[in-house]
């Protein structure tokens, strides 16, 4: 069966520090991968999506970047965090036999202080 791993679960970072959040998917190949962000009490904002290795589409101009160095690995990064980067970050995938559904990771609660 397919599983998605996202870490860390919580993260507290000072303003101006770098960020790296990692997401990996197991049990499937060539998934479509997504990064979302959710501010407290708000809806999900699509940040990036990827249809293959090295292929990244950015939805919102921001202080973040994404990379897909391997088929089942998706990384969200920042060189210098801003206060406004705080939020709940979710990785998701779709693909294979169940390509109509999105499956989400457990999320990372990021607080930038």
Binding site for other proteins (CB under 8 A): 32, 34, 36, 42-44, 46, 49, 51, 57, 59, 88, 90, 92, 94-95, 99-107, 109
Least Cβ distance, residue 56 to other proteins (angstroms): 12
**Residue nearer to other proteins on the CB measure, 42 or 79:** 42
Q: Residue 98 in 3-state DSSP?
A: helix
Answer whether 32's CB lies under 8 Å from 48's CB: no
Query: Which among 28, 52, 42, 53 has a CA at the least distance from the CA of 90?
Result: 42
Least Cβ distance, residue 90 to other proteins (angstroms): 5
Q: Which residue shows structure tokens 């990036």? A: 48
**Residue nearer to other proteins on the CB measure, 36 or 85:** 36
Query: Which among 4, 25, 15, 18 has a CA at the least distance from the CA of 76?
Result: 18
**Residue nearer to other proteins on the CB measure, 7 or 103:** 103
């Amino acid at each position: 069966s397919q599983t998605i791993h996202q870490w860390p679960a919580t993260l507290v970072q000072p303003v101006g520090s770098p960020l790296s959040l990692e997401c990996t998917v197991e049990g499937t190949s060539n998934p479509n991968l997504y990064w979302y962000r959710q501010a407290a009490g708000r809806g999900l904002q699509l940040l990036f999506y990827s249809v293959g290795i090295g292929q990244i589409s950015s939805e919102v101009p921001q202080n973040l970047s994404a990379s897909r160095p391997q088929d089942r690995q998706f990384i969200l990064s920042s060189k210098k965090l801003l206060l406004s980067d705080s939020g709940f970050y979710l990785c998701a995938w779709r693909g294979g036999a169940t390509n109509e559904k999105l499956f989400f990771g457990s999320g990372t609660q990021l607080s930038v202080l």
